Amino acid sequence: MTGRRAGVVGKLSTLDRFLPAWIAAAMVAGLLAGRWVPGLNTALSAVRAGGISLPIALGLLVMMYPVLAKVRYDRLGGVTSDRRLLWPSLVLNWLAGPALMFGLAWLLLPDLPEYRTGLIIVGLARCIAMVIIWNDLACGDREAAAVLVALNSVFQVLAFGLLGWFYLSVLPGWLGLPQAGLTVSGWRIAGNVLIFLGIPLIAGYLTRRLGERAKGRAWYESEFLPKIGPAALYGLLFTIVVLFALQGDRITARPLDVLRIAVPLLVYFGLMWAGSFAFGKAVGLSYERTTTLAFTAAGNNFELAIAVAVATFGATSGQALAGVVGPLIEVPVLVALVYVSLALRRRFTPAPVEVTP
Protein backbone atom coordinates (compact mmCIF):
# COMPACT_ATOMS: atom_id res chain seq x y z
CA MET A 1 0.00 0.00 0.00
CA THR A 2 1.37 3.42 -0.91
CA GLY A 3 1.93 6.04 1.77
CA ARG A 4 -0.82 8.24 0.36
CA ARG A 5 -3.38 5.45 0.30
CA ALA A 6 -2.36 4.36 3.78
CA GLY A 7 -2.97 7.94 4.92
CA VAL A 8 -6.43 7.99 3.36
CA VAL A 9 -7.40 4.66 4.91
CA GLY A 10 -5.92 5.69 8.25
CA LYS A 11 -8.26 8.67 8.43
CA LEU A 12 -11.34 6.50 8.01
CA SER A 13 -13.55 5.61 10.95
CA THR A 14 -13.95 1.98 11.97
CA LEU A 15 -17.31 1.92 10.22
CA ASP A 16 -15.81 3.23 6.96
CA ARG A 17 -12.65 1.13 7.10
CA PHE A 18 -14.47 -2.17 7.43
CA LEU A 19 -17.46 -1.23 5.28
CA PRO A 20 -17.05 -4.21 2.90
CA ALA A 21 -17.25 -6.56 5.88
CA TRP A 22 -20.33 -4.80 7.27
CA ILE A 23 -22.02 -4.90 3.85
CA ALA A 24 -21.23 -8.60 3.42
CA ALA A 25 -22.63 -9.27 6.90
CA ALA A 26 -25.76 -7.24 6.09
CA MET A 27 -26.31 -9.19 2.86
CA VAL A 28 -25.89 -12.55 4.62
CA ALA A 29 -28.13 -11.47 7.51
CA GLY A 30 -30.83 -10.35 5.11
CA LEU A 31 -30.67 -13.52 3.03
CA LEU A 32 -30.82 -15.76 6.10
CA ALA A 33 -33.65 -13.76 7.67
CA GLY A 34 -35.66 -13.89 4.47
CA ARG A 35 -35.08 -17.62 4.21
CA TRP A 36 -35.71 -18.64 7.81
CA VAL A 37 -38.05 -16.09 9.46
CA PRO A 38 -41.68 -17.05 8.68
CA GLY A 39 -43.87 -14.21 7.40
CA LEU A 40 -41.04 -11.65 7.30
CA ASN A 41 -41.41 -11.04 3.57
CA THR A 42 -45.13 -10.34 3.94
CA ALA A 43 -44.59 -8.02 6.89
CA LEU A 44 -41.88 -5.99 5.14
CA SER A 45 -43.99 -5.69 1.98
CA ALA A 46 -47.22 -4.76 3.74
CA VAL A 47 -46.77 -1.00 3.44
CA ARG A 48 -45.29 0.54 0.32
CA ALA A 49 -44.11 3.98 -0.82
CA GLY A 50 -43.62 4.70 -4.51
CA GLY A 51 -44.05 0.99 -5.24
CA ILE A 52 -41.20 0.12 -2.82
CA SER A 53 -41.41 -1.51 0.61
CA LEU A 54 -41.70 1.26 3.23
CA PRO A 55 -38.71 -0.02 5.30
CA ILE A 56 -36.52 0.15 2.17
CA ALA A 57 -37.86 3.63 1.39
CA LEU A 58 -37.01 4.82 4.90
CA GLY A 59 -33.56 3.27 4.72
CA LEU A 60 -32.84 5.02 1.41
CA LEU A 61 -34.00 8.38 2.76
CA VAL A 62 -31.82 8.03 5.86
CA MET A 63 -28.91 6.95 3.64
CA MET A 64 -29.17 9.87 1.21
CA TYR A 65 -29.97 12.76 3.55
CA PRO A 66 -26.53 13.19 5.24
CA VAL A 67 -24.71 13.06 1.89
CA LEU A 68 -27.00 15.65 0.33
CA ALA A 69 -26.64 17.82 3.44
CA LYS A 70 -22.87 17.87 2.69
CA VAL A 71 -23.36 19.32 -0.81
CA ARG A 72 -22.31 22.95 -1.22
CA TYR A 73 -25.25 24.11 -3.27
CA ASP A 74 -23.61 27.43 -4.08
CA ARG A 75 -21.12 25.50 -6.26
CA LEU A 76 -23.66 23.81 -8.52
CA GLY A 77 -23.30 26.49 -11.20
CA GLY A 78 -19.70 25.46 -11.81
CA VAL A 79 -20.80 21.88 -12.41
CA THR A 80 -23.60 22.70 -14.86
CA SER A 81 -21.18 24.69 -17.01
CA ASP A 82 -18.74 21.76 -17.40
CA ARG A 83 -19.71 20.17 -20.72
CA ARG A 84 -16.89 17.61 -20.39
CA LEU A 85 -18.90 16.14 -17.52
CA LEU A 86 -22.57 16.68 -18.43
CA TRP A 87 -22.69 15.48 -22.03
CA PRO A 88 -20.59 12.34 -21.45
CA SER A 89 -22.78 11.50 -18.46
CA LEU A 90 -25.96 11.72 -20.54
CA VAL A 91 -24.44 9.64 -23.34
CA LEU A 92 -23.07 6.99 -20.98
CA ASN A 93 -26.27 6.72 -18.96
CA TRP A 94 -28.92 6.89 -21.63
CA LEU A 95 -27.22 5.53 -24.75
CA ALA A 96 -24.23 3.37 -23.77
CA GLY A 97 -25.64 1.79 -20.59
CA PRO A 98 -28.96 0.48 -21.96
CA ALA A 99 -27.30 -0.62 -25.23
CA LEU A 100 -24.55 -2.50 -23.38
CA MET A 101 -27.02 -4.29 -21.12
CA PHE A 102 -29.18 -5.20 -24.12
CA GLY A 103 -26.16 -6.70 -25.90
CA LEU A 104 -24.93 -8.62 -22.84
CA ALA A 105 -28.40 -9.94 -22.04
CA TRP A 106 -28.87 -11.37 -25.53
CA LEU A 107 -25.28 -12.62 -25.77
CA LEU A 108 -25.14 -14.39 -22.41
CA LEU A 109 -28.80 -15.32 -21.82
CA PRO A 110 -30.12 -16.23 -25.29
CA ASP A 111 -32.04 -19.22 -23.89
CA LEU A 112 -33.56 -17.45 -20.85
CA PRO A 113 -36.03 -14.84 -22.11
CA GLU A 114 -37.49 -13.88 -18.73
CA TYR A 115 -34.10 -13.19 -17.15
CA ARG A 116 -32.96 -11.43 -20.32
CA THR A 117 -35.93 -9.07 -20.19
CA GLY A 118 -35.33 -8.43 -16.48
CA LEU A 119 -31.71 -7.47 -17.12
CA ILE A 120 -32.69 -5.10 -19.91
CA ILE A 121 -35.07 -3.37 -17.48
CA VAL A 122 -32.22 -3.06 -14.96
CA GLY A 123 -30.08 -1.42 -17.65
CA LEU A 124 -32.77 1.17 -18.32
CA ALA A 125 -33.09 2.24 -14.67
CA ARG A 126 -30.27 4.70 -14.04
CA CYS A 127 -29.14 5.20 -10.46
CA ILE A 128 -30.48 8.06 -8.34
CA ALA A 129 -29.89 6.70 -4.83
CA MET A 130 -26.99 4.49 -3.75
CA VAL A 131 -24.61 6.06 -6.27
CA ILE A 132 -24.46 9.07 -3.96
CA ILE A 133 -23.00 6.84 -1.23
CA TRP A 134 -20.45 5.15 -3.52
CA ASN A 135 -19.36 8.53 -4.89
CA ASP A 136 -18.92 9.96 -1.41
CA LEU A 137 -16.93 6.97 -0.18
CA ALA A 138 -14.62 7.29 -3.19
CA CYS A 139 -14.09 11.03 -2.50
CA GLY A 140 -15.91 12.07 -5.65
CA ASP A 141 -17.35 15.51 -6.34
CA ARG A 142 -20.53 15.81 -4.25
CA GLU A 143 -21.84 18.79 -6.18
CA ALA A 144 -21.29 17.03 -9.50
CA ALA A 145 -23.03 13.91 -8.17
CA ALA A 146 -26.05 15.98 -7.13
CA VAL A 147 -26.32 17.53 -10.60
CA LEU A 148 -25.86 14.25 -12.49
CA VAL A 149 -28.34 12.41 -10.28
CA ALA A 150 -30.86 15.21 -10.85
CA LEU A 151 -30.32 14.90 -14.62
CA ASN A 152 -30.79 11.15 -14.43
CA SER A 153 -34.02 11.71 -12.54
CA VAL A 154 -35.44 14.01 -15.20
CA PHE A 155 -34.45 11.66 -18.02
CA GLN A 156 -35.79 8.68 -16.07
CA VAL A 157 -39.25 10.21 -15.97
CA LEU A 158 -39.13 11.20 -19.65
CA ALA A 159 -37.27 8.30 -21.24
CA PHE A 160 -37.71 5.09 -19.21
CA GLY A 161 -40.96 4.00 -20.83
CA LEU A 162 -39.82 4.99 -24.31
CA LEU A 163 -36.52 3.13 -24.00
CA GLY A 164 -38.32 0.09 -22.58
CA TRP A 165 -40.52 0.00 -25.68
CA PHE A 166 -37.49 0.43 -27.94
CA TYR A 167 -35.23 -2.22 -26.38
CA LEU A 168 -37.92 -4.81 -25.66
CA SER A 169 -40.07 -4.45 -28.76
CA VAL A 170 -38.70 -2.26 -31.57
CA LEU A 171 -35.00 -3.22 -31.67
CA PRO A 172 -35.60 -6.99 -31.29
CA GLY A 173 -38.13 -6.72 -34.11
CA TRP A 174 -35.58 -5.04 -36.35
CA LEU A 175 -33.05 -7.78 -35.53
CA GLY A 176 -35.54 -10.61 -36.03
CA LEU A 177 -35.48 -11.54 -32.33
CA PRO A 178 -38.38 -12.39 -30.00
CA GLN A 179 -40.14 -9.30 -28.64
CA ALA A 180 -41.47 -8.45 -25.18
CA GLY A 181 -43.78 -5.78 -23.82
CA LEU A 182 -43.41 -3.41 -20.89
CA THR A 183 -46.18 -1.65 -19.02
CA VAL A 184 -44.85 1.23 -16.95
CA SER A 185 -46.52 4.30 -15.52
CA GLY A 186 -44.77 7.61 -15.97
CA TRP A 187 -46.49 8.83 -12.82
CA ARG A 188 -45.05 5.93 -10.84
CA ILE A 189 -41.54 6.76 -12.05
CA ALA A 190 -42.09 10.44 -11.19
CA GLY A 191 -43.27 9.41 -7.73
CA ASN A 192 -40.23 7.20 -7.31
CA VAL A 193 -37.95 10.11 -8.19
CA LEU A 194 -39.82 12.52 -5.93
CA ILE A 195 -39.59 10.22 -2.92
CA PHE A 196 -36.04 8.90 -3.25
CA LEU A 197 -34.37 12.04 -4.55
CA GLY A 198 -36.71 14.98 -3.98
CA ILE A 199 -37.30 14.52 -0.26
CA PRO A 200 -33.65 14.05 0.83
CA LEU A 201 -32.50 16.74 -1.63
CA ILE A 202 -34.88 19.34 -0.21
CA ALA A 203 -34.05 18.26 3.35
CA GLY A 204 -30.30 18.46 2.67
CA TYR A 205 -30.56 21.87 1.01
CA LEU A 206 -32.67 23.35 3.83
CA THR A 207 -30.39 21.86 6.48
CA ARG A 208 -27.30 23.49 4.97
CA ARG A 209 -29.04 26.77 4.25
CA LEU A 210 -30.51 27.15 7.73
CA GLY A 211 -27.48 25.71 9.53
CA GLU A 212 -25.02 28.06 7.82
CA ARG A 213 -27.34 31.01 8.34
CA ALA A 214 -27.63 30.24 12.06
CA LYS A 215 -24.02 29.37 12.96
CA GLY A 216 -21.84 29.75 9.86
CA ARG A 217 -20.19 27.38 7.41
CA ALA A 218 -17.22 26.54 9.66
CA TRP A 219 -19.50 25.26 12.44
CA TYR A 220 -21.79 23.47 10.00
CA GLU A 221 -18.97 21.51 8.33
CA SER A 222 -16.75 20.88 11.34
CA GLU A 223 -19.39 20.28 14.02
CA PHE A 224 -22.76 19.38 12.51
CA LEU A 225 -21.87 17.24 9.48
CA PRO A 226 -19.60 14.81 11.41
CA LYS A 227 -22.51 14.11 13.77
CA ILE A 228 -25.00 13.17 11.05
CA GLY A 229 -22.49 11.57 8.66
CA PRO A 230 -22.57 8.00 10.08
CA ALA A 231 -26.35 7.88 9.55
CA ALA A 232 -25.74 7.48 5.80
CA LEU A 233 -23.88 4.20 6.27
CA TYR A 234 -26.31 2.97 8.91
CA GLY A 235 -29.11 3.67 6.43
CA LEU A 236 -27.18 1.80 3.74
CA LEU A 237 -26.68 -1.27 5.92
CA PHE A 238 -30.31 -1.25 7.06
CA THR A 239 -31.50 -0.97 3.44
CA ILE A 240 -29.32 -3.92 2.39
CA VAL A 241 -30.62 -6.11 5.23
CA VAL A 242 -34.25 -5.34 4.38
CA LEU A 243 -33.75 -5.65 0.62
CA PHE A 244 -32.15 -9.08 0.86
CA ALA A 245 -34.59 -10.22 3.54
CA LEU A 246 -37.44 -9.48 1.13
CA GLN A 247 -35.87 -11.62 -1.59
CA GLY A 248 -33.77 -14.07 0.43
CA ASP A 249 -35.98 -17.09 -0.15
CA ARG A 250 -36.06 -16.62 -3.92
CA ILE A 251 -32.33 -16.00 -4.23
CA THR A 252 -31.22 -18.95 -2.10
CA ALA A 253 -33.75 -21.31 -3.72
CA ARG A 254 -32.38 -20.82 -7.27
CA PRO A 255 -28.58 -20.56 -7.00
CA LEU A 256 -27.83 -21.69 -10.57
CA ASP A 257 -30.25 -19.17 -12.04
CA VAL A 258 -28.69 -16.46 -9.88
CA LEU A 259 -25.27 -17.44 -11.22
CA ARG A 260 -26.44 -17.16 -14.84
CA ILE A 261 -27.91 -13.71 -14.18
CA ALA A 262 -24.82 -12.60 -12.28
CA VAL A 263 -22.39 -13.08 -15.18
CA PRO A 264 -23.74 -10.34 -17.50
CA LEU A 265 -24.20 -8.05 -14.50
CA LEU A 266 -20.55 -8.44 -13.49
CA VAL A 267 -19.41 -7.67 -17.03
CA TYR A 268 -21.79 -4.71 -17.24
CA PHE A 269 -20.72 -3.02 -13.99
CA GLY A 270 -17.04 -3.55 -14.75
CA LEU A 271 -17.20 -2.23 -18.32
CA MET A 272 -19.38 0.77 -17.50
CA TRP A 273 -17.23 1.86 -14.58
CA ALA A 274 -13.86 1.26 -16.24
CA GLY A 275 -14.90 2.82 -19.55
CA SER A 276 -16.37 5.90 -17.86
CA PHE A 277 -13.36 6.31 -15.58
CA ALA A 278 -10.93 6.02 -18.49
CA PHE A 279 -12.97 8.54 -20.49
CA GLY A 280 -13.02 11.07 -17.67
CA LYS A 281 -9.25 10.77 -17.26
CA ALA A 282 -8.71 11.08 -21.03
CA VAL A 283 -10.69 14.32 -21.37
CA GLY A 284 -8.86 15.91 -18.44
CA LEU A 285 -11.47 15.80 -15.70
CA SER A 286 -10.21 15.97 -12.14
CA TYR A 287 -10.13 12.81 -10.04
CA GLU A 288 -13.23 13.93 -8.19
CA ARG A 289 -15.33 14.45 -11.32
CA THR A 290 -13.92 11.40 -13.09
CA THR A 291 -14.98 9.30 -10.11
CA THR A 292 -18.43 10.85 -10.11
CA LEU A 293 -18.82 10.21 -13.83
CA ALA A 294 -17.79 6.56 -13.40
CA PHE A 295 -20.09 5.75 -10.49
CA THR A 296 -23.15 7.56 -11.86
CA ALA A 297 -22.71 5.68 -15.15
CA ALA A 298 -22.17 2.26 -13.56
CA GLY A 299 -24.90 2.35 -10.91
CA ASN A 300 -28.52 1.36 -11.52
CA ASN A 301 -31.83 2.15 -9.84
CA PHE A 302 -32.64 -1.38 -8.72
CA GLU A 303 -35.61 -0.12 -6.68
CA LEU A 304 -37.32 1.08 -9.84
CA ALA A 305 -36.27 -1.96 -11.88
CA ILE A 306 -37.73 -4.37 -9.31
CA ALA A 307 -40.94 -2.35 -8.97
CA VAL A 308 -41.49 -2.24 -12.75
CA ALA A 309 -40.70 -5.93 -13.22
CA VAL A 310 -43.06 -6.95 -10.41
CA ALA A 311 -45.86 -4.67 -11.64
CA THR A 312 -45.55 -5.87 -15.25
CA PHE A 313 -44.65 -9.55 -14.96
CA GLY A 314 -45.51 -10.52 -11.37
CA ALA A 315 -43.59 -11.00 -8.13
CA THR A 316 -42.65 -14.61 -8.91
CA SER A 317 -41.52 -13.96 -12.50
CA GLY A 318 -38.04 -14.47 -13.87
CA GLN A 319 -37.96 -10.76 -14.76
CA ALA A 320 -38.46 -9.85 -11.10
CA LEU A 321 -35.75 -12.31 -10.02
CA ALA A 322 -33.30 -10.69 -12.44
CA GLY A 323 -34.08 -7.32 -10.87
CA VAL A 324 -33.51 -8.77 -7.41
CA VAL A 325 -30.13 -10.22 -8.38
CA GLY A 326 -29.08 -6.74 -9.57
CA PRO A 327 -28.23 -5.33 -6.12
CA LEU A 328 -26.84 -8.70 -5.03
CA ILE A 329 -24.09 -8.14 -7.61
CA GLU A 330 -24.00 -4.35 -7.75
CA VAL A 331 -23.43 -3.70 -4.06
CA PRO A 332 -20.21 -5.73 -3.57
CA VAL A 333 -18.87 -4.83 -7.03
CA LEU A 334 -19.27 -1.08 -6.56
CA VAL A 335 -17.88 -1.27 -3.02
CA ALA A 336 -14.80 -2.96 -4.49
CA LEU A 337 -14.62 -0.24 -7.17
CA VAL A 338 -14.59 2.41 -4.44
CA TYR A 339 -11.24 1.00 -3.34
CA VAL A 340 -10.03 0.69 -6.95
CA SER A 341 -10.93 4.34 -7.47
CA LEU A 342 -9.03 5.44 -4.36
CA ALA A 343 -6.00 3.43 -5.50
CA LEU A 344 -6.06 5.24 -8.87
CA ARG A 345 -6.30 8.65 -7.24
CA ARG A 346 -2.53 9.11 -7.22
CA ARG A 347 -2.52 9.11 -11.05
CA PHE A 348 -4.30 12.48 -11.09
CA THR A 349 -2.89 15.92 -10.46
CA PRO A 350 -4.09 16.92 -6.97
CA ALA A 351 -6.83 19.53 -7.00
CA PRO A 352 -5.98 22.84 -5.29
CA VAL A 353 -7.02 22.97 -1.65
CA GLU A 354 -9.82 25.45 -1.03
CA VAL A 355 -9.81 27.41 2.20
CA THR A 356 -13.24 27.30 3.84
CA PRO A 357 -14.44 30.81 4.67
Q: What is the CATH number of the domain that holds 99?
A: 1.20.1530.20
Angle formed at CA 241 by CA 235 and CA 245, multiple of 5 degrees: 145
What integer pLDDT is reported at residue 49 of this predicted model?
A: 62
Mean pLDDT score, 235-243 = 85
Number of structural domains found in the chain: 1
- Is residue 355 in a domain? no
- Plot region of 50 (φ>0 → left; ψ -120 to 50 → alpha; else → beta): left
Confidence of residue 8 (pLDDT cuts 50, 70, 90): very low
> Is 17 a residue whose pLDDT tops 80?
no
What integer pLDDT is reported at residue 168 of this predicted model?
A: 92
Mean pLDDT score, 66-83 = 85
> How many CA atoms does the CB half-sphere of 28 hold within 13 Å?
6
What integer pLDDT is reported at residue 74 of this predicted model?
A: 85
- Is residue 129 in a domain? yes
Range of the domain at 132: 16-343
- Is residue 11 in a domain? no
- Is residue 4 in a domain? no
Q: Are residues 292 and 352 in contact, defined by beta-carbon separation less than 8 angstroms? A: no
What integer pLDDT is reported at residue 186 of this predicted model?
A: 67
Q: Which residue has the higher pLDDT, 52 or 230?
A: 230
What integer pLDDT is reported at residue 342 of this predicted model?
A: 93
- Is residue 23 in a domain? yes
Measured CA to CA in angstroms, residue 236 lies from 27, 32, 79, 320 at distances of 11, 18, 27, 22
> Is 9 a residue whose pLDDT tops 90?
no
Identify which of 66-70, 78-82, 126-130, 300-304 has the greatest average pLDDT: 66-70
- Is residue 9 in a domain? no
Backbone angles phi, psi at 193, to 5 degrees: -65, -45
- Is residue 234 in a domain? yes
Q: Are residues 97 and 297 in contact, defined by beta-carbon separation less than 8 angstroms? A: yes
Query: Which of 206-215, 258-267, 340-349 has the lowest average pLDDT?
Result: 340-349
Average pLDDT, the chain: 85
Confidence of residue 324 (pLDDT cuts 50, 70, 90): confident
Closest C-alpha among 33, 31, 54, 30 to residue 44? 54
Report the SS3 class of residue 53: strand
What DSSP character marks residue 355?
Answer: P
- Is residue 200 in a domain? yes
What integer pLDDT is reported at residue 3 of this predicted model?
A: 44
Report the SS3 class of residue 103: helix
0.85 surpassed by pTM:
no
